[in-house]
Structures are given as structure tokens and as C-alpha cells.
Amino acid sequence: MKQNEMTLTEYDKQLVRRLIEKVTIYEGKFTVEFKSGLTVDVNE
């Protein structure tokens, strides 16, 4: 991502599919796991 210096202004399905491995939904939050192994928790 650091190599791609661009501003996203709309949803890019191809980019999302290249970067995200899976999204796990829990009650009150969800976790995004990137293909790089990084995980991010997003709370409501």
C-alpha cells in the first residue's frame, strides 16, 4: 500500500480482493484480516 500513492474516491472491488483475506463479524465489532497477516478490529 505504501507503494500505491493514490487517493481512493470510490469502492474498488479488485483492490479489496487483492488486499483482504477475510472479514469476521462478531456482535458489536468486526475483524478485517489482510493477506499480509495484519488484522484490524473495528468496533461499532
**Please, which residues bridge with residue 26 across strands?**
29
What total number of domains does the chain contain? 1
Report if residue 3 sits inside a domain.
Answer: no
pTM of the model: 0.69
pLDDT value for 39: 97
Report if residue 8 sits inside a domain.
Answer: no
pLDDT value for 7: 76
Read out DSSP for 1-44? -TT------S--HHHHHHHEEEEEEETTEEEEEETTS-EEEEE-
Report if residue 39 sits inside a domain.
Answer: yes
- Domain interval for residue 18: 13-43
Residues 1-44: tens digit of each pLDDT: 566 666 778 998 999 999 999 999 999 999 999 999 999 999 97
